[in-house]
Amino acid sequence: MNKASGIGTERNVLTIDVNQLDVTNVYDGGIYITDQDDLILKDLNDDATAIDTMVTKKIVATGKLDIVDDIRTNQNFVLASSDQINIESNIINSGKEKLTLTATNDIIQIIDAIVLGAGDILIDETDNVILKALTTFEGSIAVNSGGCLEAIEVRSLNIDNVRNVLMTSGYK
């Protein structure tokens, strides 16, 4: 999808039913997309990113959400799945806005992928969370897991506030 004036609105979400999605060149408005089942965020136009935009966005998959190519953003960004999110490529938020990942089942980040943001990062999950590399420059990181929580490298580079990484697990 390539559209300068936005795709969907907060009130009028565009519902799609596709297997793979690539969004580029959205400068205005926002991106509000809900897919009806599984969705793969993938680079389809050879610009090395699956999502590259300058606007607020929310992408929801009713099924599983796979991120297989990089996501670049500088605004509020929500990725949500009613199933599982697999982070197989980088998510980079260059702005100071919030990056939110939320899923009903697991959120799994594979070893090579980084999640990096200047602003806050929220991972909210009712089941298991496996994180490999999560970094914020100035914001806070909150990870809420209803199940197992496994994290290898979660860093906040904000030296003024050393307590701004909060991780909770519901594992019993």
Between residues 5 and 15, which has the closer beta carbon with respect to Ca ion? 15
> In sequence order, what E strands does the chain have?
14-16, 20-21, 23-26, 31-35, 39-41, 49-53, 57-61, 65-67, 70-73, 77-81, 85-87, 91-93, 99-103, 107-109, 115-117, 121-125, 129-136, 141-145, 149-156, 165-169
Between residues 105 and 140, which has the closer beta carbon with respect to Ca ion? 105
Q: Which of residues 11-70 bind Ca ion (CB under 5 A)?
A: 22, 35, 37, 39, 43, 45, 47, 49
Between residues 19 and 168, which has the closer beta carbon with respect to Ca ion? 19
Least distance from C-beta 83 to Ca ion, angstroms?
A: 11
Lookup: tokens for 135 = 């970094």
Least distance from C-beta 81 to Ca ion, angstroms?
A: 11
Least distance from C-beta 80 to Ca ion, angstroms?
A: 14
Least distance from C-beta 27 to Ca ion, angstroms?
A: 15
Contact partners, residue 14, CB within 8 Å, separation at least 6: 7, 8, 32, 33, 34
Between residues 22 and 66, which has the closer beta carbon with respect to Ca ion? 22
Between residues 18 and 152, which has the closer beta carbon with respect to Ca ion? 18
CB atoms within 10 A of CB 124: 16
Count of residues touching Ca ion (by CB under 5 A):
8
Least distance from C-beta 141 to Ca ion, angstroms?
A: 27
Positive or negative CA dihedral for 142, 51, 48, 95? Answer: negative
Residues at the contact surface with Ca ion, assessed by CB under 5 A: 22, 35, 37, 39, 43, 45, 47, 49
